[in-house]
């Protein structure tokens, strides 16, 4: 998602430092997903951990995408 966001920002000539925060963070960043998977492995509940990570990652990706769309529409309207 970060690379895609950088490419879109370059196309619209948007300053990276201001907009690139839209492509990071969220409820389930990489570190949280890995922690849940390791916890699932250690507790012998890997199937549940994978389900939780899948749902959380999908939610995070959707929220990031919607945030990017909103910011790009605002940036596009200004130009």
pLDDT tens digits along 17-61: 555 565 666 788 888 999 999 999 999 999 999 999 999 999 988
Q: Which residues lie closer than 8 Å to 78 by C-beta, 6 or more apart?
A: none
- Asked whether residue 68 carries a pLDDT value surpassing 70, the answer given is yes
Instruction: Please give the pLDDT value at position 66.
Output: 87
- Asked whether residue 16 carries a pLDDT value surpassing 70, the answer given is no
pTM: 0.64
Q: How confident is the model at residue 67 (pLDDT cuts 50, 70, 90)?
A: confident
Classified as helix, coil or strand, 28 is coil
Domain borders along the chain are: 2-78
Contact between residue 71 and residue 19 where contact means Cβ atoms under 8 Å apart? yes
């Amino acid at each position: 998602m970060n690379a895609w966001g950088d490419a879109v920002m370059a196309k619209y000539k948007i300053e990276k430092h201001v907009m690139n925060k839209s492509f990071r963070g969220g409820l389930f960043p990489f570190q949280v997903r890995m922690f849940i998977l390791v916890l699932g492995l250690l507790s012998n509940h890997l199937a549940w951990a994978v389900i939780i990570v899948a749902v959380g990652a999908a939610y995070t990706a959707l929220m990031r995408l919607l945030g990017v769309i909103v910011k790009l529409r605002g940036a596009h309207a200004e130009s």
